[in-house]
Amino acid sequence: MTTATTTGHEGGARKRWTARVLTLLPEAFPGLLGLSLAGRALRDGLWHLEAVDIRGFATDRHRTVDDTPFGGGPGMVLRPDIVAAAIDASLADATAAGENRRVIYLSPRGRVIDQKLVRELAAADGFILVCGRFEGVDQRVLDARAIEEVSLGDFVLSGGEPAAVALIDAIVRLLPGVMGDAASSEDESFEHGLLEYPHYTRPQTWEGRAVPDILLSGHHADIRRWRREQAETITQQRRPDLWSRYAPNHTKRG
Ligand SMILES: C[S@@+](CC[C@H](N)C(=O)[O-])C[C@H]1O[C@@H](n2cnc3c(N)ncnc32)[C@H](O)[C@@H]1O
């Protein structure tokens, strides 16, 4: 039994990138993903979203999905049998659709999401995302289904849904046809191992602050060089971890 909210249209020749999100809050989707760039792409059939209600796989009349932790301690744990049933139904749907069967559990213990992972996930044809709640998911279902854990960062959310929205948003904007200007992702933070250079727009002077002269010069090669230098300086100052990976291969400053 799958209780899914399906959003998006049937697409063209290329297999549509599909996110199947297992959650106790299916009404949270598409949420932000139904707006702006991602929402337009969803309505245009450039990607596809299924929010699957984990509670739909409960077997008792109270639709129970959690229980107290063995060994004691606070909070509740999502039961392995219920979560596994939800995952297996989505795996069967993904297999029937000829889609990628990668299953990811959003968890503060996981590999922290970066642009490299986002690109890798965008290059596949989709995934199954498990959103935890309460204290999380029984370890046995993670082991039994060889589930990868990925994290939004070193902090604790109350559920996996905000992380799912963030991850899907980052992926969808890289899908073919989603961003109007195909070049617009190429200069962005992390694409070349650097944070992005600063941006300026009108008015040319604001509160006594002028736009850097170089940007008004019309010399495109000089502007490119200035932006690269700005990106390097900002990365060196703010993210020594990124800089130490970038510098040895790109600069004499490293
Ligand atoms: C309250 S948290 C559980 C935290 C868990 N007891 C711990 O200390 O690691 C509930 C759910 O939120 C999600 N979550 C919390 N923080 C997250 C993060 N940084 N990245 C991704 N998901 C997160 C996970 O799905 C988790 O199962």
- Burial state string for 213-224 with b = 16 or more CB within 10 A and e = fewer than 16: eebeeeeeeebe
Confidence (pLDDT) at 100: 80
pLDDT in tens, 163-216: 999 999 999 999 999 997 655 677 788 988 999 999 999 999 999 999 999 999
Q: Taking Cα atoms as reference points, which of 44, 57, 41, 49 lies closest to residue 5?
A: 49
Cα(192) to ligand 1 centroid in Å equals 30
Question: DSSP assignment, residue 68?
Answer: P
**Which one, of 72, 17, 29, 31, lies nearest residue 54 by Cα?**
29
Q: Residue of the nearest CA to atom 6 in ligand 1?
A: 135
Cis peptide bond prior to 203, omega within 30° of 0:
yes
CB-CB contact of 25 with 5 (8 Å): no
The share of the chain scoring above pLDDT 90, in percent, equals 85
Helix (H) or strand (E) holding 165: helix 161-172
Residue 198 is given by DSSP the state: P
Determine the distance separating the centroid of ligand 1 and the alpha carbon of 213, expressed in angstroms. Answer: 47
CB 80 within 8 A of CB 144: yes
pLDDT tens digit string along 216-229? 999 999 999 999 99
The residue whose C-alpha atom lies closest to atom 1 belonging to ligand 1 is: 158
Ligand 1 mutation target, pool 78, 141, 157, most atoms within 8 A of CB:
157
